[in-house]
């Protein structure tokens, strides 16, 4: 049982009474107890030491056991042998005496691995106690601090497992061999036993492998680099990770200065010395993948496992796909030689399992001129625009923001140049690959066509910390610099192709990450299974899990698989289009130093890189023209026997009909619509947010119409309305914008009406027209009339005087209408008002003109009173005077004014006589005789209305009425 040893607070001292000899007896008892416990502990320790030592191999076997070797064989997934390690004694291991090894390498190794080597007796107690303490605390060995003898024991005697028991055994054997062997013997064995990576066992093999020279000829710079490799040969591999190897060299040089082996000046000179690595030469299939598997084995079981335990390793690689991929990469690189393209790489994975099916590290592993041994599938390079899908993915996620602020495929982004206040390198002014601006575009358009400026805006919205956290969850480990700026949205950070392809696999797998896997199963020389994929002991424990919302992953996939959306930039039949649904993205870095194409179907994801290992620029080669053909050919061939599969929409998404290039629900003005996927909780914006809107304009001034603008002065036009910050850009690029302010002329509603005469009234003589004539920007008004109620033409203005007509009238006299010259019947009176811009407003009133008919003078009559109606007393008879002459008729109004009409006075002693036709008198019941006159009805009069007016006839006011 493990115990934790912690310092406990000291108990407060208590005063005790003196007890004479009791104190002495207690002291003696305590001393005896301590001695007894110490003796017991020492005895137990000696017994334990003896028991463990008896179970260990004899230290005298150290020399005979050194350099023992068993082959490790590596197979593809179908059992095809990729590589079998050779006997190092016959090939890449040459035992050399210590005096033949460069002193620089000896000093560098001691300074790095065991600075007290010549002073301790096999173990370093301080380092051991520290390692044991952390092992007890954590339940595992987390701190090394092994001495050179301990490491030699581990290499020669012990199995590769890590445990506390093994650490004890290691210490005991280290002490024993340090007691029996001279320090120089131990150091010589150690330097000949170390694994330096790339199948180099021992210092001499390492010198030959990396620098093609004898170990005695190593310079300080070369020795410092080699001394740093054994701790983690795969991690510091100078062919795969030259930057890591160089940094490790600097650590070793610092340790040599610290331990007094060299001066700071020597260290500086060694650091500046250029290193030239010899090319590797192996007999193996899929060499970069095989070496990658070896690195995985080193990480899992330790370097010694490769040549001591006789492993059989079954990998995920499909050799037939691998050979096809290698050929496609090499052929395309050769075709691009005139564009200064010398190298390429490819990685293909199964997204749902992470299994690596093809892994091409370079166009030609054996070609020294292109640095073919450098594994470009693992070398961090700038991904260019291939990183953009994850920038937009972060904008879709934004878990700290409300749903309304999270981006969607329909979010509008300004693809308009701007100086960004980038904290790293202000100001930052990105431009597009085509050196054009495209205005306000949706996220779908921006990502599908790989526009740069919108991606920078997206990263600015998301924030660098949030994006880097997402990249980490996707399995990208290399974005660790502290000085990133917004250029990271365009691929300003370096990412290995394997990690980038693995990140795309997350999208293909609905947001669920399964890290790339290279090893399916490992068995030992006796066939025992050490580990196996999809068992309780996997060879590469996968940190798998749902790292991205399936809805967001699907929305990105939907955009990347939309061939129509990317056609404006790439065309409808580019190499990005397969014979099945496929999502794909390209990337091209500045100066054409790197270009990539990464894409996937539900069954397969493939990433391709094209460029030069030395980072020299290509000539005018983009991701679609450089890496794209490789991606297309490989995906087409690899999927030829796979069923065609659609990307399955997850729960939580729905198709909406939206305006094609604005991403909102379509407004009535939207010119074209499409059906696109959106998250149900983040639907498209409503139609009123559409850029396309119908705008009402004043047709005269061209400004916005107001509520008071007359309908006849309004015209409607469709505009694509940009927000205020971008209106000027839109107008400069031929996108008309509506006026910003309304027409000031129409500050109030036009007021014009005729109050008198009223609609349908019967008029005659000179009619006083009363009403209102007032409009914004008033100029003048006119009165006119037309014959009929639907005249085809109107008379010239009939009033008022020009001076008077230039003043607005508010419920006053508009003018006089002389109807005396007009014939009887329907007429229309029209009021027209003009503003200063020449616009006219009008109103009309339909009336009936009726002129009085000339009649004889009135004749007095007597009308008897009906018997049933009481009446006041009346004269028994009223004599009727009949003039001896015919009275003069009322002249027509066209011949003389009304004042010249002769009148006939009625008798004052009798009621007013009634004007009746001369042919017959009329009788009237009621109060007595009532004089009346009934005109003939007009055929055009409204039969449902009664029109009345007053007419003065022979001095008597007579009420006339229309037809009943």
Are 256 and 108 in contact by the 8 Å Cβ rule? The answer is yes
Secondary structure in 3-state letters for 816-881: EEECCCCCCEEEEEEEEEEECCCCEEEEEEEEEECCCCCCCCCCCCCCCCCCCCCCCCCCCCCCCC
Between residues 743 and 266, the one the model is more confident about: 266
| Fold assignment, 356-638 | Beta-lactamase (3.40.710)
Q: Where in the chain is the domain with CATH 3.40.710.10?
A: 356-638
pLDDT bin (cut points 50, 70, 90) of residue 73 is confident
| pLDDT band at residue 30 under the 50/70/90 scheme | very low
Q: Is the dihedral of CA 267, 268, 273, 275 positive or negative?
A: positive
536 compared with 7, residue with greater pLDDT: 536
Q: Is a pLDDT exceeding 60 seen at residue 918? A: no
Instruction: Looking at 474-549, list the stretches that DSSP marks H as alpha helix, in order from N- to C-terminal side.
Output: 497-508
The half-sphere exposure of 173 on its side-chain side, counting CA atoms within 13 A, is: 29
- C-alpha dist (Å) from residue 884 to 626, 853, 856, 878, 901: 125, 22, 12, 18, 20
**Comparing 131 with 964, which gets the higher pLDDT?**
131
Both tokens of residue 514? 């399964």
On whether the CB atoms of residues 286 and 319 are closer than 8 A, the answer is yes
**Is pLDDT at 305 greater than 50 in this prediction?**
yes
Burial readout 101-135 (b: 16 or more C-beta within 10 A, e: otherwise): bbebbbbbbbbbbbeebeebebbbeebbeebbeeb
- Residue 591 tokens, joined: 């100066």
C-alpha atoms less than 13 angstroms from C-alpha of 956 in its C-beta half-sphere:
22
pLDDT higher at 516 or 23: 516
C-beta of residue 790 within 8 angstroms of C-beta of residue 862: no
Q: Give mean pLDDT, residues 629-646.
A: 96
Between the ranges 25-39, 741-755, 780-794, 884-898, where is the mean pLDDT highest? Answer: 780-794
The pLDDT, as a whole number, for residue 741 is: 78
Residue 920 reports pLDDT greater than 60: no
Place of tokens 């003796």: 39
Band the pLDDT of 379: cuts 50, 70, 90.
very high
Cα(782)–Cα(842) distance, integer angstroms: 9
Question: What is the percentage of the chain residues whose pLDDT exceeds 90?
Answer: 54
Q: Residue 141: what pLDDT?
A: 41
DSSP H/E element including 803: helix 802-805
Residue with tokens 């990140």: 503
Paired tokens of 725: 């910050």
* Distances in whole angstroms, Cα of residue 129 to Cα of each of 175, 273, 854: 15, 39, 142
What is the location of CATH 1.10.3810.10 in the chain? 62-285
Residue 511: CA atoms inside 13 Å, Cβ hemisphere, count?
19
Q: Which two tokens stand for residue 48?
A: 């334990």
Higher per-residue confidence, 935 vs 862:
862
Mean per-residue pLDDT for 167-190? 79
The predicted model gives 183-194 an average pLDDT of 86
Residues 549-592: pLDDT tens digits? Answer: 999 999 999 999 999 999 999 999 999 999 999 999 999 988 88
Q: What is the residue-averaged pLDDT of the chain?
A: 80
* Average pLDDT of span 852-859: 66
Residue with the bigger pLDDT between 452 and 952: it is: 452
Q: What is the pLDDT of residue 861?
A: 57
Query: Which residues are known catalytic residues?
Result: 113, 385
Residue 912 has, within 13 A of its CA and on its CB side, a CA count of 12
Indicate the SS3 state at residue 222.
Answer: helix
* Candidate from 310-319, 536-545, 889-898 with smallest mean pLDDT: 889-898
How far is 538 from 531, CA to CA, in rounded Å?
5
Q: What is the pLDDT of residues 385-399, one digit of tens each?
A: 999 999 999 999 998
**pLDDT confidence bin for 299, thresholds 50/70/90:** confident
Q: Is 497 left (phi over 0), alpha (psi -120 to 50) or beta?
A: alpha
733-745 mean pLDDT: 83
User: CA 816, CA 768: separation in Å to the nearest integer?
Assistant: 5
Residues in the chain: 964
CA separation, residue 771 to residues 237, 812, 833 (Å): 100, 6, 12
State the pLDDT confidence band at 177, using cuts at 50, 70 and 90. confident
- Alpha helix ranges (H) inside 336-481: 388-397, 443-448, 452-462, 464-473
Residue 709: closest CA among 751, 754, 747, 752? 747
Residue 3 has pLDDT above 50, yes or no: no
Q: 720 by DSSP, 3-state: which?
A: strand
Count CB atoms within 10 A of the CB of residue 168.
15
How many other C-beta atoms can be found within 10 angstroms of the C-beta atom of residue 842?
15
Highest mean pLDDT among 41-50, 292-301, 492-501: 492-501
Q: Is the pLDDT of residue 510 over 70?
A: yes
pLDDT for 887 beyond 70: no
pLDDT higher than 60, residue 39 = no
Is pLDDT larger for residue 936 or for residue 330?
Answer: 330
| Beta strand pairing call for 766-774 and 809-818 | antiparallel
Cα distances (Å, whole numbers) of residue 102 to 40, 117, 222, 268, 274: 49, 18, 10, 19, 19
Averaged pLDDT, 601-625: 92
Q: Would you say residue 183 has pLDDT above 80?
A: yes
Please tell me the CATH code under which domain 62-285 is placed: 1.10.3810.10
pLDDT of residue 637: 97
Provide the greatest CA pair distance for the chain.
181
Joined tokens for residue 92: 């890449």
CB neighbourhood size of 320 (10 A): 14
Q: Can you give the pLDDT at residue 142?
A: 36
Query: What whole-number distance in Å separates Cα of residue 806 and Cα of residue 812?
Result: 14
- Interatomic CA distance for residues 830 and 797, integer angstroms: 10
Q: What is the pLDDT of residue 698?
A: 83
pLDDT above 70: percentage of residues in the chain? 75
**pLDDT at 907 (0 to 100):** 38
492 versus 857: which is more confidently predicted? 492
Q: DSSP string spanning 378-397?
A: TS-B--GGGGHHHHHHHHHH
Q: How far apart are CA 156 and CA 162, in angstroms?
A: 15
Q: Which of 73-77, 97-101, 423-427, 557-561 has the highest mean pLDDT?
A: 557-561
Is residue 416 a contact partner of residue 453, using CB atoms and an 8 Å limit?
yes
Quote the pLDDT of residue 144: 45
Question: What pLDDT was estimated at residue 563?
Answer: 96
Instruction: Tell me the average pLDDT across 142-161.
Output: 62
Cα(174)–Cα(128) distance, rounded to whole angstroms? 12
| Rounded CA separation 505/845 (Å) | 79
Instruction: Enumerate the H helices of 379-532 as residue ranges.
Output: 388-397, 443-448, 452-462, 464-473, 497-508
How far lies 607's CA from each of 318, 374, 376, 424, 623, in Å?
16, 17, 12, 30, 11
Domain boundaries for CATH 2.60.40.10 within the chain? 751-849
Q: Which of 147-156, 516-525, 642-651 has the highest mean pLDDT?
A: 642-651
Determine the CATH number of domain 751-849: 2.60.40.10
């Amino acid at each position: 049982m493990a115990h934790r040893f912690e310092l406990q607070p000291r108990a407060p001292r208590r005063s005790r009474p003196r007890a004479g000899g009791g104190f002495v007896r207690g002291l003696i008892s305590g001393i005896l107890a301590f001695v007894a416990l110490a003796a017991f502990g020492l005895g137990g320790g000696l017994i334990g030491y003896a028991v463990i030592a008896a179970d260990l191999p004899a230290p005298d076997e150290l020399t005979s056991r050194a350099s023992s070797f068993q082959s490790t064989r590596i197979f593809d997934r179908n059992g095809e042998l990729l590589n079998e390690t050779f006997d190092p004694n016959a090939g890449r291991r040459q035992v050399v005496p210590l005096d033949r090894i460069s002193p620089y390498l000896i000093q560098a190794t001691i300074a790095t691995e065991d600075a007290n080597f010549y002073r301790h007796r096999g173990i370093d107690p301080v380092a051991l106690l520290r390692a044991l303490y952390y092992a007890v605390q954590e339940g595992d060995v987390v701190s090394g601090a092994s001495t050179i003898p301990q490491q030699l024991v581990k290499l020669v005697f012990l199995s590769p497992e890590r445990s506390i028991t093994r650490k004890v055994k290691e210490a005991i054997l280290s002490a024993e061999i340090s007691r029996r062997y001279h320090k120089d013997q131990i150091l010589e064995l150690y330097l000949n036993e170390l694994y330096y990576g790339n199948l180099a066992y021992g210092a001499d093999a390492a010198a030959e492998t990396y620098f093609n020279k004898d170990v005695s000829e190593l310079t300080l710079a070369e020795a410092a680099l080699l001394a740093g490799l054994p701790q983690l040969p795969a991690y510091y591999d100078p062919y795969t990770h030259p930057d890591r190897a160089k940094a490790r060299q600097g650590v070793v040089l610092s340790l040599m200065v610290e331990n007094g082996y060299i001066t700071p000046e020597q260290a500086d000179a060694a650091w500046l010395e250029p290193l030239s690595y010899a090319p590797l030469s192996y007999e193996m299939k899929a060499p970069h993948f095989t070496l990658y598997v070896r690195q995985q084995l080193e990480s899992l079981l330790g370097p010694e496992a490769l040549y001591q335990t006789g492993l059989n390793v079954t990998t995920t690689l499909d050799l037939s796909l691998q050979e096809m991929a290698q050929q496609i990469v090499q052929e395309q690189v050769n075709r691009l030689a005139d564009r200064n393209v010398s190298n390429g790489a490819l990685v293909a994975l199964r997204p749902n399992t992470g299994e690596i099916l093809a892994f091409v590290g370079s166009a030609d592993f054996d070609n020294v001129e292109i640095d073919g041994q450098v594994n470009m599938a693992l070398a961090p390079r700038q991904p260019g625009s291939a990183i953009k899908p994850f920038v937009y993915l972060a904008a879709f996620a934004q878990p700290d923001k409300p749903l309304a602020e999270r981006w969607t495929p329909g979010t509008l982004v300004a693809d308009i140049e701007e100086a960004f206040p980038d904290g790293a390198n202000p100001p930052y002014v990105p431009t597009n690959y085509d050196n054009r601006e495209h205005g306000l575009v949706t996220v779908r358009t921006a990502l599908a066509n790989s526009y740069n400026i919108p991606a920078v805006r997206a990263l600015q919205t998301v924030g660098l910390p949030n994006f880097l956290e997402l990249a980490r969850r996707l399995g990208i480990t290399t974005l660790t610099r502290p000085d990133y700026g917004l250029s990271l949205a365009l691929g300003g950070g370096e990412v290995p192709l394997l990690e980038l392809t693995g990140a795309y696999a997350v999208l293909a797998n609905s947001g669920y990450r399964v890290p790339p896997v290279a090893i399916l199963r490992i068995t030992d020389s006796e066939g025992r299974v050490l580990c196996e994929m999809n068992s309780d002991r996997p060879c590469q424990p996968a940190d798998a899990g749902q790292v991205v919302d399936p809805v967001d992953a699907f929305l990105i996939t939907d955009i990347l698989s939309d061939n129509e959306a990317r056609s404006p930039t790439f065309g409808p039949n580019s190499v990005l289009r397969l014979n099945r649904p496929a999502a794909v993205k390209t990337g091209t870095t500045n100066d054409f130093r790197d270009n990539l194409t990464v894409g996937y179907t539900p069954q397969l994801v493939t990433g391709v890189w094209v460029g030069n290992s030395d980072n020299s620029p290509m000539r005018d080669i983009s991701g679609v023209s450089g890496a794209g053909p490789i991606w297309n050919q490989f995906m087409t061939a690899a999927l030829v026997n796979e069923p065609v599969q659609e990307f399955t929409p997850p729960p939580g998404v729905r198709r909406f009909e939206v305006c094609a290039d604005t991403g909102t629900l379509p407004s009535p003005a939207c010119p074209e619509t499409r059906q696109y996927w959106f998250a149900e909780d983040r639907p498209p914006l409503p139609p009123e947010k559409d850029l396309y809107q119908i705008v009402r304009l004043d047709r005269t001034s061209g400004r916005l119409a107001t509520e008071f603008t007359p309908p006849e002065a309004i015209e409607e036009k469709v505009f694509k309305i940009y927000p205020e910050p971008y209106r000027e850009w839109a107008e400069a690029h031929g996108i008309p914008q509506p006026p910003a302010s309304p027409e000031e002329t129409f500050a109030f509603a036009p007021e014009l009406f005729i109050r008198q005469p009223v609609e349908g009234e019967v008029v005659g003589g000179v009619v006083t027209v009363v009403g209102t004539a007032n409009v914004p920007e008033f100029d003048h008004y006119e009165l006119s009339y037309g014959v009929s109620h639907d005249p085809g033409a109107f008379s010239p203005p009939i009033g008022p005087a020009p001076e008077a007509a230039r003043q607005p009238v508010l419920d006053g006299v508009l003018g006089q209408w002389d109807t005396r010259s007009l014939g009887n019947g329907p007429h229309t009176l029209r009021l027209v008002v003009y503003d200063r811009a020449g616009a006219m407003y009008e109103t009309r009133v339909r009336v009936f003109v009726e002129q009085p008919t000339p009649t004889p003078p009135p004749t007095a009559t007597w009308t008897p009173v009906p018997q049933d109606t009481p009446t006041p007393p009346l004269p028994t008879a009223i004599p009727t005077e009949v003039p001896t002459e015919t009275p003069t008729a009322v002249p027509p109004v066209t011949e003389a004014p009304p004042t010249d009409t002769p009148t006939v006075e009625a008798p004052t002693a009798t009621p007013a006589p009634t004007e009746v036709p001369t042919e017959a008198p009329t009788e009237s019941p009621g109060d007595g005789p009532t004089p009346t006159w009934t005109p003939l009805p007009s055929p055009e009069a409204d039969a449902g209305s009664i029109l009345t007016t007053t007419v003065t006839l022979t001095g008597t006011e007579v009420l006339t009425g229309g037809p009943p």
